[in-house]
Amino acid sequence: MNPNNVWKKNREFYIGVAGTVLEGLFSGSLFMLLYSVMRFLWDGQFDMNRVLVLTGVIAFIFLLRILIYSYGYTKAQIGGAKVSKNIRLFMGDHLKRIPLSRFTQGQTGDYINTITSDVNNYEKILTHKIGDIAKSFALSLMLIVFVMTIYFPAGLILLIADLLLIPGLWLSFRQVAKYGKEKNDICAENVSSIVEYVSGIQTFRAYGVGGLKNKTVIHAMQEFSRISFVYEAKVLPIGAGFGILSWLSCPVVIWTAYGPWAAGTLDTVSYLLICMLPLFCAKLANSIFVDLTSYKNLMISKNKIMAVMKEPEETGSMEPLQAASHEIVFDHVNFSYVPGEPVLKQASFTVPDQKLTAIVGDSGSGKSTILNLIAKYYEVSGGTISIGGRPINHVAAERVLDQISMVDQDVFLFDDTVRENIRHARPDATDAEIEVACREANCDGFIRKMERGYDTPIGENGNLLSGGERQRLSIARAILKNSPILLLDEATASLDIENELAVKQAIANLLKEKKTVVMIAHTLSIVKNADQILVVSDGRITEAGTHEELLAKDGKYAAMWNAEQQLSA
């Protein structure tokens, strides 16, 4: 979908605005009826026939206003919702193509705020603000022209009072531009803090930092309260000043029209009406000021949405990644999460086709980064990664991931049934295929003991399951997908002994098929039988070989192995 087409207004929107304006004009026509009634009363010509006629006209206008307002309001809601729906669909499609490196904590909060709050704000513009502003302008102009036909100078005063909107809105818009954007940015930071706190509350409490993190959230909320107060404090005086000036039109009109009335050139009925109408016109002018200030503020949200829409997407060919073999080659690969802080430095190695390669090293040495680069979660800063002899630098991430199954230590599960969670690996899989995969993953037993078996809901992110059960479901996904490349990132970390044994057996079943496997493990005894072991240190591959070869080198791997043996002794 073209980003420009997303913003296009539809027929329902324009009908809604037209209906709102028309309803406003009919409400203004009641002042003309009031003028007629006052004249009849003053001239002593108000009889029962005229009462019935005017009552019928007023009832008809009232009924017409209800019908027009109901129809227009409904159309405006539908039209605005259609536009916001297109925006949400476009952004949802766009976000899945934005490089993962953009999804830092702060940026994630910004994205959440944009997709939810900012899109809702823009929808308010379409469903309420534009129609209300157009209605108020049309009604104000109608009443000013009406007053001018009765007594031109009074209408001119009302017009001048309305023109004071220009300097008032200029001052107001300057404050919105300054403080409105700051408020929107702080709101995004607030969302980030809350998301982090809610997501990690269990960990925070476990390490006794819940109170500290709570202070962080409270500070973020206090900042939001502060900027909200400052924002209002800057805009309200401008609105109050304009309100005073617009309401001064009432005494000015009364004083200006008094002379002609006293001289007899302006009749009493006209004088009374033009003395009343400035009250309504001043109220309309204040509504226009508030609505336009709000409109300008809400337009900040549109700018935020457009900024996200313009973010560059991942590039690469969508052609299938077809290769006769699936060896993985890193050729002088450089990578940094933060510019100037390299994580991988000239990393070069080969993962043989249909062999098990293990990666070991200290925490933070770059092990998980290697898996993320193979899966194209991130783009290399320099060098080349190839699969089956084909460089993947210019291949779309989706096509690379078609060839890969992953088992992470942090498993993400959907708030759905067991069966549907497994099916995400291969949407066209049959129920029988899913159950076979679960048996291979060593999780069929606990699934069948659940209340509804494979159709049991597992809660948000699988919170109704244990860590080992969640991990085995992740392995079942990998078995079901049956990709030629398998990436295992410390799949047995943070598990108790019983679950670790169950997961190890599931991994053993997963490795029965001939695949190109890259495994990260925190326990060297798990990987000692690997076809190749790579030792990562300070972003470089410092050693490579089999378990025996690395022990013979008496380098870092040998030191790590000896340390592990001493701990287990």
Tell me, what's the pLDDT at 98?
Answer: 80
Q: Which amino acid is at 505?
A: Q
Q: Is the alpha carbon torsion for 521, 526, 532, 534 positive or negative?
A: positive
pTM value is: 0.69
Tell me, what's the pLDDT at 101?
Answer: 65
What domains are defined for the chain?
Answer: 3-309 (1.20.1560.10)
Tell me, what's the pLDDT at 466?
Answer: 80
Tell me, what's the pLDDT at 409?
Answer: 74
Q: Are 337 and 31 in contact (CB under 8 A)?
A: no
Q: Are 165 and 242 in contact (CB under 8 A)?
A: yes
Q: Which residues of the chain have pLDDT under 50?
A: 105
C-alpha pair distances (Å), 87 with each of 5, 13, 66, 115, 305 = 10, 15, 31, 9, 9
Cβ neighbors of 313 (< 8 A, separation 6 or more) are 94, 97, 98, 99
Per residue in 207-241, pLDDT (tens digit) is: 555 555 567 777 778 888 888 888 888 888 998 99
Q: Report the C-alpha dihedral over residues 479, 485, 490, 491, rounded to 10 degrees.
A: 0
The conformational region for residue 329 under phi > 0 = left, psi -120 to 50 = alpha, else beta, is: beta
d(CA 421, CA 414): 6
Pairing of strands 516-520, 485-489: parallel
String of DSSP letters for 293-308: HHHHHHHHHHHHHHHH
Per residue in 21-57, pLDDT (tens digit) is: 998 898 888 888 888 878 777 777 767 777 788 888 8
Q: Is the alpha carbon torsion for 255, 257, 259, 263 positive or negative?
A: negative
Tell me, what's the pLDDT at 35?
Answer: 83
Tell me, what's the pLDDT at 443?
Answer: 86
Q: Are 13 and 55 in contact (CB under 8 A)?
A: no
Tell me, what's the pLDDT at 224?
Answer: 81
String of DSSP letters for 348-377: EEEE-TT-EEEEEESTTSSHHHHHHHHTTS
d(CA 553, CA 485): 29
Tell me, what's the pLDDT at 529?
Answer: 81
d(CA 478, CA 499): 18
